[in-house]
Each structure stands twice: as C-alpha cells, then as structure tokens.
Amino acid sequence: METKWTITAPSDSYSSEETFDNYEDAYQYCIETEIIYFNRAMEYLSEHDWSLTESAELASNLGFELKNINSEMLATLHLQDGLINSIRKIEAE
C-alpha cells in the first residue's frame, strides 16, 4: 500500500486540494502557501484565530516583533502551521 498525503488549502472562495507522494513535497507546499491581501487575511483570521492568540504566538516563536508583523503575515503563519500539522496527522494514519 502506497502512502500519499493530501492537503486542502483555501484559495479565494474555493478550496484547492493537492496530493503528494512524499512528506517533503507536502511540507514544501505548506511553507509556500500564503494569504495575501488585507481583506482575505482578516477574513481568515476572523474565522480561524479571531483573538490572534495562536498566530501571535507563532510569530513570536519565530522571532518576529510586533512592529514587523501585519494581518497577512499572521494569517499566513497560522495557515501554514495548520497545514503542516495536518500532514503529520495524515501521515501517521
């Protein structure tokens, strides 16, 4: 039985699904996925991290300072973390 990894990421008003043969390719996809534009970032954060606690903690853990972050960065970090964690869960099954 061959192992594959599938990741679903939001893209505009629909979701895009990607399937990978190995973990490294899936991980690379996750770290390249980003949320751009203020309105998309705010929409994502209001749905997934309205208090900004999780995304601010991720930014802090990566060494970012408050003066160097914005909504797009926080949303992207939160999304990437969720995608990376979902790969690990799928791989373990």
Average pLDDT, the chain: 87
What's the pLDDT band for 13 if we cut at 50, 70, 90?
very low
The string of pLDDT tens digits covering residues 34-54 is 999 999 999 999 999 999 999
| R_g over Cα of the chain | 14
Token look-up 């505009």 returns 12
Q: Which amino acid is at 27?
A: Y
Q: Where are the domains of the chain?
A: 5-92
Name the nearest CA neighbour of 6 among 76, 23, 56, 37.
Answer: 23
Question: What is the Cα–Cα distance from 18 to 38, expressed in whole angstroms?
Answer: 25
